[in-house]
Structure 1
Amino acid sequence: MDFSEDWKSFFPVSISCSPPVLIPSSARPTLGPLIFNPIPQTLTHVFFSPSLLPPPLHIPQLSLSRFLATSCPGAPVLPSTASSIASLCGSQFQNDIASILQYNRLEFLKYDNSVFVFFPTSVNSEKVGFFALHVEGSNLRLQLDSNGDIFRAASGTCSSISRILAIPIDHDDDIRKSSTIGYLLASTLYSAHWFSVQYNSSLERPSVVYMGGKIFKTCCVAHACWSPHILEESLVLLESGELFLFDLKYYMKNSSSNVNFKGTRLRVPWHESNCSDGKVWLSCEFSWHPRILIVARSDVVFLVDLSADNCVVSCLLKVELLHMYTPTKSERFLALSRAGPDGFYFTVASNGFLLLCDVRKHMRPIIQWAHGLDRPCFMNVLNLSTLRSHSMEDTFKFSSEVGFCILLGSFWSGEFNVFCYGSSLPSQKGSFASKPSKTNKTLDAWELPYEIVLCGRDCHCGSCLLKEELSKAALPEWIDWQMKKEMVLGFGIMNNDLASLLCEPYKYGGFTLVRLMSSGKLELQRYEASWVHDRKSEDCHEQGLSLDKYLLFTVGDEKYKYRKSVVFHKLNFIDAYRRGNLTKLLVKELKDPCMDAQEEGPVDSDVHDFLCEKLNACGVGPFRSSPAIIAFFKDVKPSASLHDVALRKLWAELPLDLLQLAFSKHSESLDGAADQKKVALESLAVSSCPELPPFFLRKSPSCSNKGYTKARCDGDIVGPLLPLPILLLLHEIYDGCSDLEDGKFSVEEEIDTKYKEIMKTAGAISASISDSESFGNHEVSLADDADETWVDPSKPKPFLLYRPAAFKCSGTSDVNENSIDRHEIHDALVFHVMEEKTVSNKLESEPVGPEISDDLCLVELRFNSPSKKFEGGALKAFDILKRQLSKWQEGVDSYKELTGRFGFVKPVGRGF
């Protein structure tokens, strides 16, 4: 079938079967090799510095409106308010992570046999950092400042620089005599800044001088570019669609008066200026005329003609044109760039397609490719001669001169593809290489898109790709693998003249790439043109993928002294417990369990004696076949939930050999981690107070992972190192429980059984506050009946059992001990009522201990340091506070009624 030239592009490359816009495979050998592979032997480390890294950034996985609505539980933000705030903050807060690394962080400026490299630096990337690469003979020399660090230039702003653009000055220009070799344009979120690049030949030192800037207070900067026609002109596009033209000639003449640039606002009558429904202004470029511009929005590409008196705006391309090739309606434009062979051509990339267009043909792209990349935001068009320079033979010299390559990709995803195009083959028979048709102005795709490895150290064979995907899947869900892998943050291609001085020519030529890695390294590597894509790299094949060595965002100026790594701990047991599969997982892990603790190693006598002493102090002996349940209430001094009491009973009933698995000396845990070259987990030390596990009063150990003395750590017993559900399952395994294999044993049911037992006993030994009593419903009844009594009924009960009104979620006040609601097991509280006693007055000079606080309230207080004494001014201050508290208690009717009901008489103490 014969297609006209205008209809060829409606069959996209990589989607259509034999697209007519793609040169036939039989004719491609006449074009020369179009695939570029890195040469591993040419990898050269140039420089390393933390100043090359971006500042630390926290990337939200939620959109800004969703993040605001879910991050402030104390003072929630209404969804409508959050959405309005998000709309005012600009498109950089949208849920598009690729936009964070949208721009190339390296910018090159050539001067003689040198290349000046520019990049954002400092703590917030608010300064312009730079250094020089000099080619001397066949060697590359790096020029830094006198301290061996990069050069820095203040930008006049505290905002982070997102992009730097450089433009050289023609050597024949008169301004060359003033040592100025180029200009820089640095754009931030709300401003643009201009610099002049100078080189002092006598001092052989580069410098960057700040010229001025413009702050846009009402809108963000979407894009900025230099004019290819007039050296001193630049264009800035705002996210509102406004365009500003800046002329450096005017400001160079008046630089002494004002460094605040104003610019000329271009009055562009946008006919489709409504940016609702997620429409975002993307980019702007100069076309073939100094006053003809190409402006891209996420849905439309405009041609703005300012050459006449009236501004004329026309539509070049609409995103609806791509809907015939994709089932989704969410397609939008992402990037725009100028293209060769002249100023009439431009390229635009969308979510799924790359289009080469001509400003003279509206709504008719010349070539379309399906790129298959993830949100590509970086695009650059290069002449093929730049990528196939310094070759040993000139067979394909002319095709290199008329061919072009589009480099499209994303620094965030680390994927870049090359798209080659150029003049069409002559219709008549003949050799394209020997006698091309210079009058043929039509353009065709020369090759299918292919991936180029910019990092230069990846092996793309099937085994390595599979390992990489498995390593990504092994990371936790909240961590992006991009944050853990060494990535390319920026790159530049050295000039052909300089590259030819550094390396030997290759058969079909190649190019020299200078790249910036996320580890802070600057590297140089040579790429060569090839007929086939080398997917397997022998140097990288056996290395594998390491996702725990690098962090993408690290802190800037200060040199990082420690190993950049993060230790991940497997939480599979916690996840299994949360899902109710803990029993199955533990049985699976312990296929050959060792029942005898002596086979695992010697018993630590210190830990054994410590645990026995702790249990004996709480009335639970070492032989705990059937300990009295009342013993577990002796530890209840402050208010505690019945669930906590049930857990203490379960802890105390475990055998000592299992308890010793949960407690250890802190020094042994540190030594064991040091022997295995791991980081020891920090655990709290066990308190010396007489209490049962899991212990209420805790403190940090006297030493930590870093710099401890063994003498200090020997006395610290830390734990629990294993949670109670694990120990309960181990206990059942040791006892040979048959329900484990069937998965019938449940830790939750075991805890619920103890909870019911504790609740029943608590009802017998405690006085319950009934809901029928007039206490303002501040407390409600827990249980009123009990089958068993553990204390003399003629005496006042020493415990008070209640449920706070704040925990009352249902209409009933009682808790049925036969049915357990997992959401209310912490609602039933019990505390020990202070015994009635008389505190005699002491002399003012005598120190008084913690017993002075016995008459503060009904609850018996416990102090971690009972030996502390009050005397002097502290004693007087304490008496004043007690007097104020007593006055407040007398004004609370519910408290007076409660103390009267239980016969509580305020003791006679100091100050009363």
Structure 2
Amino acid sequence: MELSHEWKSFFPVGGSTVSPLLLSHPHSLPLGPLFFNPNPNPSPNPNPLSLLFSSPSLAPALHLPPHLLPSRFLLSSHPSSILPSTASSLFTPPPQNDTASSFLHNRIHLLYHPHLPNALVFFPTGANDHKIGFFLLTFNHGQLHTRLDPNGDVFLASTGSAHRILRISVTPVADSCLLHDPCNVIGYLLATTLYSVHWFSVKHDSILDRPSVVYLGAKTFKICPVAHACWSPHILEESLVLLETGQLFLFDLNSHGCSDAAFKGTRLKVPWNDSKNKVWLSCEFSWHPRIFVVARSDAVFLVDLRLKECSVSCLMKIQTLRMYAPDENERFLALSRAAPDNFYFALASTTLLLLCDVRKPLLPVLQWIHGVQEPCFMSVVRLSELRSHSRGDHFKLASQTGFCIMLGSFWNCEFNIFCYGSILPFRKGAITSKINPNLCAWELPVEINLSGRECHCGGCLLRKEFSKDAIPEWIDWQLKKEIVLGFGILRNDLAALLCEPDENGGFTLIRLMSSGRLELQRYHASALQATSMEDCHDQAFCLDRHLLYLESDEKYKFPKAFHYLKLDYLYAYATGDLAQFLVKKLEKNSIDYQDKEPLCAEVHELLCEKLNACGFGQSRSCPAITSVFNDIKLPASLHEVALRRLWADLPIELLQLAFFSYAECHEVIGDLDQNRVALEFLAVPDLPQLPPFFLRKSSPHGNHDIVGPVIPFPVLLVLNEFWDGCSNLEGGEFSVEAELGLKYKEVMQVAGEIAVSVYGPTHLDDHAVSLADDGEETWVGSSKPKSFLLYHPGAFNSSATGHVQEKSVYSDTVYDTFISHVPEKKSNEQTESVGQEIFDDLSPVELRFDAPVKKLEPQGLKAYNLLKRQMSKWQESFDSYQEFCIQSRFEKTS
């Protein structure tokens, strides 16, 4: 079937067996070799030029967190979780590693002197990659030399800030401009951080034969991060900046005065439609100085600012790729200007690589299935740059008219070359003026080994995959392997000074390795790809060096001991099978705790004493729910109150399993393991409290202290149900969360009856049952004024922190309602000596002091009155506090 050129472009190369726009064997023989293999020896000289320079300044400044952080195993718990915190330990896969974000962009950039055989190498350096490092490469008598500062290290240029430099971009000065420039400026450089862009001018001191970088100024965007910045190919001093909100800024170095270091660019008023919650990627200049190509994760736009009114048109949408990229997560990842002129641009998505023309919206010129995982780097070069310095000119015409897109990922160590050019085959002596303007792909994409150390033979590939599988999933194999962090292709005339001509030509690469080595590697064009490299068999995949970590020469001197914890109980709780798991355990070894003697009489007496002090015990003076509320002194969430209610229902014999003396803890551990492991538990406080005793210190305690709980409450609750003869444990009907939910509703109902709500009446659950009619659960002194305060802290109040879909920003609502005891009003008269109760009129909640009772003497009363006046003055000026006191009916004494 004969198709037009436009219809042929919808068939991506590699996406099907039929690729109408693919020029391949045998018709592509006139194109010449399109594989590029590294030379084992990059130079015929006795001293190979593979290593140019090595320094810690070239290594990336990474501050990598430990791999085994608790956050890898934490998930937000169920709203009715029995744990006091809002996170529970669950077995979940580790989150996506953010380390790759430091390897998205090319770290080195080359700038050439137009009249001297010199090249400047720029890269970020410093403790946080916050400085511009650079040095000079000079070519003399077929040798390449590095020119460093007097201390033997790289030159430095500061941005004036400590923020990490994410991208660097350079632009050279044209020869005509350089002749009329008395300052010897050879180019300009811009460096972008997360929220700022910095501009520099690059000069060459011909007298000292050394480079210099002069800081010109910066622009800081305080609210929105910088997405991309680029130089104009039309006007030397202009640059374009794209923010992550889609805002565009145009900067002109000529309009910047020397008096102010802060740049003031022109904000371009672009009428974006539906730009909220979109990821903006990149921006480029098109064929006109006021026409730009702007890429978003879902679309690419052409912005035309030649007229007074800005015009925006869509060039490409992600929906147009659905035939060969049906994944819903497909998105655009990279954008670059392309050849043969500024009408073309290259665009990479998750699956496809597209060559587009701004004159043909929504219609790609070429498409490839790129096969690169998360490509982040893309560069377009002429084929003549990759096949220079050849012995013959058999493929000269194809080299001069062909182009290559280099697409890859530094983090994943993958780079492919995509060649394209005229649709007509080339022959020696063909007339260039009759070349068909339509473009097609030249051969299938080819992989290029940038590191020069990757062997693709079967044995090395197998060892590579097996080594990856042997590494734990929380370790990134790239961090234990020397990878390429950046590269630059040496200019053809300079590369010709270093090596003899190749049969079919080639190119010279300067690459930066993660070990801090700057290397030079020669690649030659070949008709076949080299799959086996004998010199790299032993080092094809070395996973025994942490090259991206700071290493110490001193070995670990102390013996390593490993103690393994059996987490079957935790796993059963995380999966919701705790009851069934414990029942099977108990049935094998059934023990009746009621028949057992207390492990320690001291523990038994202490627990009974604390429970009796709070109104619990065998001779209760008031109902259980009343005792729980009487225990509330400091503010507590209703979730905590419900948890105390469940703890208080446990029999004293069962509580002994959760609390024991600190001396017993060492005895138990000693029986399990001769090498005692230091396990620390919090001591039970002296203040009368209900379990699980929230108010206590974490300071060291003695052997006579009572510590605990050492058994999680869910286990105790299931044990209590089991020994009470609960029949629904094995069937899976019993739920710890459901029990807590019932107690929470009970506490919520009672709180609504006995407490003053700051924010109006409490809206209870529809299924909550009032306890007012329960004869056994009556509130003592219910006729008295309400002495409890029910409120929501400002951090949990949606009206104070904003609305997100008409709901509170804080999602775990069981924790956002607090209750506290309001102190009784005291007389204003002060005696000669008073105690801690004097502070009660300063706060709407009752204060408790875990300290010996002391009386304030007249000298202390004088200091107290001074502090009280200052505190009152602050309270009167704080509107939110005054509103809180009015709604809570708290009257502050003067």
Q: Where on the TM-score scale, by shorter chain, does this alignment land: which range?
A: 0.5 to 0.7
**1:861-896 superposed Cα distances (whole Å, 9 cap, x missing partner):** 569xxxxxxxxxxxxxxxxxxxx999669xxxxxxx
Matched, 1:827 2:828: no
Cα distance in structure 2, aligned partners of 1:826 and 1:304: 72
**1:361-397 superposed Cα distances (whole Å, 9 cap, x missing partner):** 0100010011111111110001000000111111001
- Report deviation, 1:94: 9.5
- Report deviation, 1:780: 8.8
In 2 relative to 1, CA 39–565 (structure 1 residues): closer, same or farther, beyond 3 Å? farther
The equivalent of 1:671 in structure 2 is none
The equivalent of 2:4 in structure 1 is 4
Q: What does 1:752-771 align with in structure 2 at a 5 Å threshold?
A: 760=596, 762-763=598-599, 768-769=604-605
The equivalent of 1:55 in structure 2 is 61
The equivalent of 1:248 in structure 2 is 253
- Report deviation, 1:503: 0.9
- Report deviation, 1:455: 0.8
In 2 relative to 1, CA 300–887 (structure 1 residues): closer, same or farther, beyond 3 Å? closer
Matched residue type, 2:58: L
SS in 2 for 1:325: coil
The equivalent of 2:139 in structure 1 is 135
In 2 relative to 1, CA 332–774 (structure 1 residues): closer, same or farther, beyond 3 Å? closer
SS in 2 for 1:229: coil
Cα distance in structure 2, aligned partners of 1:306 and 1:479: 49
Q: What does 1:170-249 align with in structure 2 at a 5 Å threshold?
A: 170-173=174-177, 174-249=179-254
Q: CA RMSD in A?
A: 4.2
The equivalent of 2:396 in structure 1 is 397
Is residue 24–residue 444 contact of structure 2 (8 Å, CA) maintained in 1?
A: no
Cα distance in structure 1, aligned partners of 2:487 and 2:199: 22
**1:780-818 superposed Cα distances (whole Å, 9 cap, x missing partner):** 999xxxxxxxxxxxxxxxxxxxxxx979758441557xx
The equivalent of 1:274 in structure 2 is 275
Is residue 225–residue 243 contact of structure 2 (8 Å, CA) maintained in 1?
A: yes
Matched residue type, 1:47: F
Is residue 40–residue 457 contact of structure 1 (8 Å, CA) maintained in 2?
A: no
**Worse overlay, 334-343 or 437-446:** 437-446
- Report deviation, 1:330: 1.4
- Report deviation, 1:542: 2.8
**1:548-579 superposed Cα distances (whole Å, 9 cap, x missing partner):** 3133255xxxxx763899999897x838x556
Cα distance in structure 1, aligned partners of 2:558 and 2:175: 54
Q: What does 1:281-430 align with in structure 2 at a 5 Å threshold?
A: 281-425=280-424
In 2 relative to 1, CA 762–378 (structure 1 residues): closer, same or farther, beyond 3 Å? same
**1:647-670 superposed Cα distances (whole Å, 9 cap, x missing partner):** xxxxxxxxxxxxxxxxxxxxxxxx
Is residue 55–residue 124 contact of structure 1 (8 Å, CA) maintained in 2?
A: yes
Q: How many residues are treated as equivalent by the alignment?
A: 622
Matched residue type, 1:51: S
In 2 relative to 1, CA 329–194 (structure 1 residues): closer, same or farther, beyond 3 Å? same
> Of 525, 528, 550, which residue of structure 2 is paired with 1:529?
525
The equivalent of 2:674 in structure 1 is none
The equivalent of 2:150 in structure 1 is 146
The equivalent of 2:834 in structure 1 is none
> Of 449, 458, 461, which residue of structure 2 is paired with 1:462?
458
- Report deviation, 1:57: 3.3
The equivalent of 1:506 in structure 2 is 502
Matched residue type, 1:445: A
**Worse overlay, 42-51 or 232-241:** 42-51
Q: What does 1:765-804 align with in structure 2 at a 5 Å threshold?
A: 768-769=604-605, 775-776=611-612
Matched, 1:574 2:564: yes
SS in 1 for 2:325: coil
> Of 246, 265, 272, which residue of structure 1 is paired with 2:267?
265
Is residue 832–residue 860 contact of structure 1 (8 Å, CA) maintained in 2?
A: no
Matched, 1:813 2:631: no
Cα distance in structure 1, aligned partners of 2:131 and 2:455: 36
Cα distance in structure 2, aligned partners of 1:241 and 1:311: 15
Matched residue type, 1:562: D
Matched, 1:23 2:23: yes
SS in 1 for 2:459: helix
- Report deviation, 1:189: 0.8
In 2 relative to 1, CA 350–433 (structure 1 residues): closer, same or farther, beyond 3 Å? farther
The equivalent of 1:894 in structure 2 is none
Q: What does 1:725-764 align with in structure 2 at a 5 Å threshold?
A: 760=596, 762-763=598-599
In 2 relative to 1, CA 411–831 (structure 1 residues): closer, same or farther, beyond 3 Å? closer
SS in 1 for 2:182: helix
- Report deviation, 1:755: 10
SS in 1 for 2:496: helix
Is residue 31–residue 432 contact of structure 1 (8 Å, CA) maintained in 2?
A: no
Percent of aligned pairs with the same amino acid: 50
Is residue 68–residue 474 contact of structure 2 (8 Å, CA) maintained in 1?
A: no
In 2 relative to 1, CA 280–66 (structure 1 residues): closer, same or farther, beyond 3 Å? farther
Cα distance in structure 2, aligned partners of 1:224 and 1:774: 67
Cα distance in structure 2, aligned partners of 1:6 and 1:24: 20
Matched residue type, 1:510: G
- Report deviation, 1:832: 8.1
Matched residue type, 1:341: P
In 2 relative to 1, CA 235–772 (structure 1 residues): closer, same or farther, beyond 3 Å? closer
Cα distance in structure 1, aligned partners of 2:658 and 2:164: 51
Cα distance in structure 1, aligned partners of 2:354 and 2:65: 31
In 2 relative to 1, CA 274–78 (structure 1 residues): closer, same or farther, beyond 3 Å? farther
Cα distance in structure 2, aligned partners of 1:156 and 1:76: 43
Matched residue type, 2:63: L
In 2 relative to 1, CA 484–861 (structure 1 residues): closer, same or farther, beyond 3 Å? closer
Question: Which 5+ residue runs of structure 2 have no aligned equivalent?
Answer: 43-48, 89-94, 570-581, 619-642, 665-685, 688-699, 705-848, 855-894
Matched residue type, 2:553: Y
The equivalent of 2:553 in structure 1 is 562
Q: What does 1:624-639 align with in structure 2 at a 5 Å threshold?
A: none
Is residue 316–residue 362 contact of structure 1 (8 Å, CA) maintained in 2?
A: yes
Cα distance in structure 2, aligned partners of 1:387 and 1:534: 17
Matched residue type, 1:245: L
- Report deviation, 1:172: 2.4
- Report deviation, 1:175: 4.3
The equivalent of 1:583 in structure 2 is none
Matched residue type, 1:513: L
Cα distance in structure 2, aligned partners of 1:515 and 1:2: 46
SS in 2 for 1:51: helix
Question: Which 5+ residue runs of structure 1 have no aligned equivalent?
Answer: 80-92, 555-559, 581-745, 783-804, 817-823, 834-855, 864-883, 890-912
Is residue 108–residue 116 contact of structure 1 (8 Å, CA) maintained in 2?
A: yes
Cα distance in structure 2, aligned partners of 1:774 and 1:561: 54
SS in 2 for 1:41: coil
The equivalent of 1:839 in structure 2 is none
SS in 2 for 1:249: helix
Matched residue type, 2:225: C
In 2 relative to 1, CA 567–446 (structure 1 residues): closer, same or farther, beyond 3 Å? farther
Cα distance in structure 2, aligned partners of 1:755 and 1:562: 56
Matched residue type, 2:612: G
In 2 relative to 1, CA 432–66 (structure 1 residues): closer, same or farther, beyond 3 Å? farther
The equivalent of 2:673 in structure 1 is none
Q: What does 1:659-738 align with in structure 2 at a 5 Å threshold?
A: none
